[in-house]
Each structure stands twice: as structure tokens, then as C-alpha cells.
Chain A
């Protein structure tokens, strides 16, 4: 299997990927309008302010939408997998995979609670994946 397609962080996104490496899901929010946003950028997309802060998000959310890809990309293995979007408790949506869960419509119910789980891919990159939340 070829190595998994991985992100190359930029100066504006480095804090996010460093957070993943350290087991933290880091979002940004505006210190004036308090809006949380994703993906990372050094200003608030709602009000344009540069006064923004990085914070540790809860890592909780719900399964918002997905498809189950039947023709796996070579670096993703040989079995069908869901390409999912979760809606984080803080508001933003994020593409991800749902792991520790059958990749079937029956197991993947919209709005089910999910929690972040970091998957180490290299010394520099851990990917934020999500698992069904227990209890």
C-alpha cells in the first residue's frame, strides 16, 4: 500500500497540526466577536479582525454527512470507507473518517455523537479521526 496522502502544514496552519501531534484538537476563535472557525487562518472570517486566539476544542461533535467510497484510493486500503463531515460542538464542520465503526449506512447514523481520536501517521502528522462516542 502506498503511504497515505498527508497534509503539508503552512505557517498559518502549523498550530493545528502541532495540536494533533500533541493530542489536542485546536480551533481558532475571534476575541471580539467570539466566532469559532475552521480551517485555520490568522483572522476572523466573520468580522475580519486579526485578534484571534487558538484554543483547545472539546473534540466532540456529531456525524453531519458522509458518503461511503466503494472504490478505495490505493493509499486508503482495499475496503470501502466513509468520507465524513462532522459538525463540532463549537460550530465548525470538518472532513474526517469515522473509525472503530463498521463502514455501513446502518452503523453510520447522521447526528450520532462522535469524539476525536488522533491517528499517528508520521513524526510530524497525526490525523484527527472520529469514533462513535461511548455512552
Chain B
């Protein structure tokens, strides 16, 4: 028997007041700023919240800092898609009666590192033993490792990834809060500083400070809140590997496929129903894997799909593409504090409320797909602005 997760809705959603470089706020301060903004958005006080979920810090820290005495706490921490998993778990929890009003927060001082924990892994962990000795320096040198194999399998070249960055910059140009708005060309992308061949700087995400928060409650109650409810139609999650070198197949993400399939099935939608799509883009290859593993295109077809402007905004009198993707500018141009999944969810909620900076006219269904770690985990949420 499947439980009715469609009876849950987002009633509060907000990002931190500032975004980008915030040297005067610590990590927990960013969580709190986003949480207070989301509570104001929903017309709620901390005492109205009875469930908390967060990653990066402990839900204990979050609850106590905000003065919340919850009956539900979720500390699932699987990287940048943790917030998709929090939404999924919150939907189940609300339906099971564990809590009525759940706050999910993210805050990260990725750039300024104020009150932030250190990086680094134990040398006795599996990654410490079997990857770190070979010289990786964070995600740009690890998340990218499978890509040459993917490109060879499909007869593609590194420059086939460049339109991901140029087209997302077009979306960012429409968004006043985006970090980078100036147009870029494929040549700009290819000639940018080399970070880890074949990845140039413009194929890698930003490093910024920021946060975001969501508040979920039952769809029944959602009608009484000030904002237009955004319903959770379907959800999926999976985890794959703590080490990128041990992905089951370098040509696709097993976690993406499992999570996406579950989300589409539980929502009861098909790909042609999707009006708006967010795919967590820490690096330029992720929207390619995402489009293919979610089933929007066949394996190897995503690069051409993007190059042919199927995901692009309207430009020079030409209509926008049929599948607007990463409409906030994405991790490549909007912002990326470290765990970007929250910002993908925020943009989906804005699109469903009809309040996005680059609003997709008439959009009714939005899919937000996240990755955690380096192909370690995945979460997928299907939203709608129509009551199920």
C-alpha cells in the first residue's frame, strides 16, 4: 500500500536575506535567518513548529537555537540533496502523525567559512584509504572523475558540456539575485582557467554563503496559510557510494535512476507533464546525467538536447525551450554554498507560486532533482500548484 504523500504542501519558503558573500553571519546564523524568513512567509512562530530537519549542523543545534521543542527530528545528512530527503521524510512523518508543521533548514558559510566545520576525512575511512592518497582536492577533482568515460561511451567531447554553462548563464541574467549574470560563450567556457582537465572554471559551481528554509504541513491545513500552497506530489531518494571511483557505472548514476523513478511513480506523472525542472549542477556534467537518468532523454542525448535550446529561456525573439531547466541560473551561476539542493527546491517553489524572477508562464508541475556527495546520494521531489 502506498501512503498518500500528496496530502502534504510547502507553506513557507525563503532564502537567507543576503546571498553570496556574508562574512558577518555564522553557519548557524544562516540557518536561523532562513528559518525566520520562512516562518514570516508562512505567518508562523517557532512555537508553531513541531518538527525539524537539517543537514550540516545537527537538528539538535537547530531546534535549540530557534527555541523549538519538536516531536520529530531528522538529521539525514547525505550531502547537497539532504533537503530533498528531508522533504520526503517530512511528508511521510506528517502523514503518520509524527508532527504537523516541519521546518527544514540549510545554511552554509561556504565562502567566508564563519563558524564552519573543517573539511577532511579520517585516513582510516574507505575514502581515506582508497582515494585520498592519490591526490584529490575536493569535489572539482573527484565529482568529475567519471566524465571522460561517459564522453567516450557516447562519442562526445569536453566542449559538448559547455552549453550547459552558457545557457544557465542566460537564465541567471534574468535573476537579480544571481551571482554571475554576464553572458558567456562556448569559447569563454573552454578558455577559462583549467581546474581539473577537462573541467574549466566555468564548468564548476560557485562557492558562496547562504541558506534557505522550507515549512511543510498537511494539504488540508495548507489552505489556511497566507501563501499559495505548493503540493508535494511525489518523492524519491537513494544512495549509492561514498567513493566516486566505486560508482556502479560511470555512464550513469544508479542513485539518480532509483530516486527519479520512485518520484515519478508516486506522483503518477509522465515526463511530458513536467513544466519546469531543476537538476543540481555542482558541475556541468550533472544536468547531462540528470536529464538521462530521470528519463527525459535517452543515454547520450542530453548534450544535444541542451545545445538545441530545449532547456533555454526565450532569446532574441525565439521561444524558450520546452523544458526550462535550472531557471535560477543553477549552481554554476546563481549560487552554491556547498549543499545546493535547498536552492533548487526554493526555485521550484517560486515557480509553483508564480513568483520566480524568470517565471515559466503557466507552469503547474516542477521537478527538483538533487545529488549528494559526489554521486553518493540522490533525492527527487515532484511539486505542483494544483491540489491533488
Chain A contact residues, CB within 8 Å of chain B: 4-10, 13, 17, 38-39, 64-73, 75-76, 80-81, 83-85, 93-97, 105, 110-111, 127
Contact = CB atoms under 8 A, between A and B. Distances in A.
B135 A65 contact: no
Contacts of A96: 134
B387 interface: no
Given A65-B148, A69-B196, A95-B131, 15 more contacts: A4-B133, A5-B123, A7-B128, A9-B124, A38-B246, A64-B149, A66-B148, A68-B196, A70-B195, A71-B195, A81-B135, A83-B142, A85-B145, A85-B146, A85-B250
A60 B142 CA distance: 23
B250 A64 contact: yes
Contacts of B197: 67-68, 70, 80, 105
Interface string B182-207: 00000000000111111100000000
A39 B126 contact: yes
8 contacts: A8-B124, A39-B246, A65-B149, A67-B144, A67-B199, A70-B193, A93-B245, A111-B152
Interface in B232-258: 243, 245-246, 250
Nearest first, the 3 A-B pairs at minimum CB distance are A7-B129, A95-B245, A68-B197
Contact of B129 (A39, A71, A81): A39
B132 interface: yes
B122 interface: yes
B67 to A, nearest CB: 42
Contacts of A75: 135
B129 A66 contact: no
B128 A83 contact: no
B135 A73 contact: yes
Interface of B: 122-124, 126, 128-137, 141-142, 144-149, 152, 193-199, 243, 245-246, 250
Contacts of A13: 129
Given A65-B250, A67-B196, A70-B195, A7 B145 contact: no
Given A8-B128, A10-B124, A67-B144, A97 B134 contact: yes
Given A65-B149, A83-B135, A96-B134, A7 B196 contact: no
Given A39-B129, A95-B245, A67 B123 contact: no
Given A65-B145, A71-B195, A8 B122 contact: yes
Given A8-B123, A9-B129, A83 B136 contact: yes
A80 to B, nearest CB: 8
A83 B132 CA distance: 10
Nearest to B158: A105
A83 B149 contact: no
B141 A67 contact: yes
A13 B123 CA distance: 12
Contacts of A64: 149, 250
